[in-house]
Amino acid sequence: MGQKPKIALASDHAGFSLKEKVREYLTALGYDVADQGTSSLESVDYPDFAEMVTQRVVAKQADFGVLVCGTGLGMAIAANKVPGIRAATVNDTLSARYARSHNDANVLAIGERLTDETTARKILDTWLSTPFEGGRHERRVNKISNIDLRHHTEKTK
């Protein structure tokens, strides 16, 4: 069996408690987890943490990103602004499987207000063990990448 993927992990204050449990769980399973914060329940802005994680993923310093906020929605929206990121908000194992197998999601967003620790573990297990199917899905993921290229190309003045 190959090396386990490296995971960049972060949360805002609303996802802090679940993020801590996710970090402990993934570390216990032998994953190399780079915790990007936050480090307390003090109010912070989730886009800052989404950007830290996604920058590690696009720079190939991490294979995957995991983001936790209150619902997972804000983190996913912010993460998807970064070219090359395919973030999916997932609160069940079926969505986790399809996010990887059909959409090749490289960032997982979970909502602490919607997902308990046991469910989060099942989601992580499913998401991390599901390969991208490729085939017809690869064509679609490539189209998503092309949207990134068309709309996120840096403009020079």
pLDDT of residue 6: 97
pLDDT of residue 50: 98
Q: Counting beta carbons within 10 angstroms of the beta carbon of residue 16, is it exposed (0 to 12), middle (13 to 18) or buried (19 or more)?
A: buried
Q: Pick one of 3.40.50.2300, 3.40.50.11890, 3.20.20.140, 3.40.1400.10 as the CATH number of 6-152.
A: 3.40.1400.10
What is the end-to-end Cα distance of the chain in Å, rounded?
49
Cis-peptide, bond into residue 38, ω within 30° of zero: yes
pLDDT of residue 154: 62
pLDDT of residue 157: 41
Both tokens of residue 107? 């960032």
Summary count for the chain: helices (H), strands (E): 6, 5
Active-site residue identified among 69, 137, 151, 152: 69
**Tens place of pLDDT per residue across the chain (157 aa):** 468 999 999 999 999 999 999 999 999 999 999 999 999 999 999 999 999 999 999 999 999 999 999 999 999 999 999 999 999 999 999 999 999 999 999 999 999 999 999 999 999 999 999 999 888 898 888 888 888 888 876 654 4
pLDDT of residue 140: 87
Q: Which stretch of DSSP H or E encloses residue 101?
A: helix 93-101
Q: Is 137 a catalytic residue?
A: no
147 DSSP assignment: H
Domain ranges of the chain: 6-152
Q: Is 151 a catalytic residue?
A: no
